[in-house]
C-alpha cells in the first residue's frame, strides 16, 4: 500500500484555504485518507493538521471559528497588534474548544508540528504529546509571531518557542510521500495556479513560492484577514484546488 502524509503550510488567516482543502479530502479523498500515515504543518498549517488528525468532525466548527477570529482582528484599529487585544488568548480559546479530550493521544506520532527555538533560531519537529495541555502549547508556539501576536514567546520544557514557519514552513516527512498544501502559488501539490507569463520561484523556509503580485497580496491577507466574503472564497478555492489534485492523481472513485 502507498504511504502518504499531508503537510500544511504556515499561512496565518489563509489557513481557511487549507480548511477548504481538508473538506475536499474528507468528502472525496477516502482512498487517500486510507493510506494516510501522518500530518505535518507549521503555524496555521499545524492547526489545520491537528484538526484533521484529532477532530475531523469539528471541521465546520473550525471554519466558523476562523471567520469569527478574522472578524475580531479586523475590528481592531491595528489588527492583531492593537494594544489591549490578546491574539494568543483568543487563539487558545478556539483550540481548546475544538480539540477533543484525548487529542494528545490521537496526535502522538501522527501529528508533526514545526517550531522555531527562540534561543538558537533552529527548527524542531514535535510529534510526541504527553498531555492535551502540552499539545495546545506546541500548537500555540508554532503560531506565535513576535510583535504581531504578542511579546512573550510560548514556553514549555524550559525553552521559548515561536512560529515554525520561520525555519520550516512546509515540513516534508521522511517516510512515504508528503502531499503539500499551501494557499500560495508555487510548486506545492495543492495550491492556487500561477496567473501570468513569467514565473520566478523562490524557496522560503522549505516552501517554494512564485514571486507574483497575487502572492504578495496573499501574504498581506495572511496577517491582516480580508472581509468575510473573501474568506469564504478562499475556503471554496482550497476545496476546488484539492478536488482537482485528487482527480488528477487518481485518488477519487468518481
Scanning the chain, the segments in alpha helix (DSSP H) are 15-28, 30-34, 44-54, 59-75, 87-98, 103-107, 132-142, 213-223, 228-249
Question: Which residues are 204's β-sheet partners?
Answer: 207
Instruction: Supply the pLDDT for residue 254.
Output: 58
Distances (CA, A) of 130 to 48, 135, 138: 20, 8, 11
Q: Is 235 exposed, middle or buried (0-12, 13-18, 19+ CB in 10 A)?
A: buried
Question: How far, in Å, CA of 40 to CA of 62, rounded?
Answer: 18
Catalytic residue among 7, 43, 124, 143: 43
Instruction: Supply the pLDDT for residue 195.
Output: 80
Q: Tell how strand 36-42 and strand 111-117 pair up.
A: parallel
Tell me whether residue 163 is one of the annotated catalytic residues: yes
Contact 185, 193 (CB under 8 A): yes
Instruction: Supply the pLDDT for residue 199.
Output: 76
Catalytic residue among 23, 114, 124, 163: 163
Tell me whether residue 23 is one of the annotated catalytic residues: no
Instruction: Supply the pLDDT for residue 160.
Output: 96
Question: How far, in Å, CA of 160 to CA of 149, rounded?
Answer: 15
Instruction: Supply the pLDDT for residue 1.
Output: 65
Question: What are the pLDDT tens digits along the chain (254 aa)?
Answer: 689 999 999 999 999 999 999 999 999 999 999 999 999 999 999 999 999 999 999 999 999 999 999 999 999 999 999 999 999 999 999 999 999 999 999 999 999 999 999 999 999 999 999 999 999 999 999 999 999 999 999 998 899 999 999 999 999 999 999 999 999 999 999 999 988 777 788 888 889 898 888 999 999 999 999 999 999 999 999 999 999 999 999 998 65
Q: What is the DSSP letter of 61?
A: H
Spell 175-191 as b/e; 16+ CB within 10 A means b: eeebbbbbbbbbebbbb
Q: Is 146 helix (H, G, I), strand (E, B) or coil?
A: coil
Amino acid at each position: 500500500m502507498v504511504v502518504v502524509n499531508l503537510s500544511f503550510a504556515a499561512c496565518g488567516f489563509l489557513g481557511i484555504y487549507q480548511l477548504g482543502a481538508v473538506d475536499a479530502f474528507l468528502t472525496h479523498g477516502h482512498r487517500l485518507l486510507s493510506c494516510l500515515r501522518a500530518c505535518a504543518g507549521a503555524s496555521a498549517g499545524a492547526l489545520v493538521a491537528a484538526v484533521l488528525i484529532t477532530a475531523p468532525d469539528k471541521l465546520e466548527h473550525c471554519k466558523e471559528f476562523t471567520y469569527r477570529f478574522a472578524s475580531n482582528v479586523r475590528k481592531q484599529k491595528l489588527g492583531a497588534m492593537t494594544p489591549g487585544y490578546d491574539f494568543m488568548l483568543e487563539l487558545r480559546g478556539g483550540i481548546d474548544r475544538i480539540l477533543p479530550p484525548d487529542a494528545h493521544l490521537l496526535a502522538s506520532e501522527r501529528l508533526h508540528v514545526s517550531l522555531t527555538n527562540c534561543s538558537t533560531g533552529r527548527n524542531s519537529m514535535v510529534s510526541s504529546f504527553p498531555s492535551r495541555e502540552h499539545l495546545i502549547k506546541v500548537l500555540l508556539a508554532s503560531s506565535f509571531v513576535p510583535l504581531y501576536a504578542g511579546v512573550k514567546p510560548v514556553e514549555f520544557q524550559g525553552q521559548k518557542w515561536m512560529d515554525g514557519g520561520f525555519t520550516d514552513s512546509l515540513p516534508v516527512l521522511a517516510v512515504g510521500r508528503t502531499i503539500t498544501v499551501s494557499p500560495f502559488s508555487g510548486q506545492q501539490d495543492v495550491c492556487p495556479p500561477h496567473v501570468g507569463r513569467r514565473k520566478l520561484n523562490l524557496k522560503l523556509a522549505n516552501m517554494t513560492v512564485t514571486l507574483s503580485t497575487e502572492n504578495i497580496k496573499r501574504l498581506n491577507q495572511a496577517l491582516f484577514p480580508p472581509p468575510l466574503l473573501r474568506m469564504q472564497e478562499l475556503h471554496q478555492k482550497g476545496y476546488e484546488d484539492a478536488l482537482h489534485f485528487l482527480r488528477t492523481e487518481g485518488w477519487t472513485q468518481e
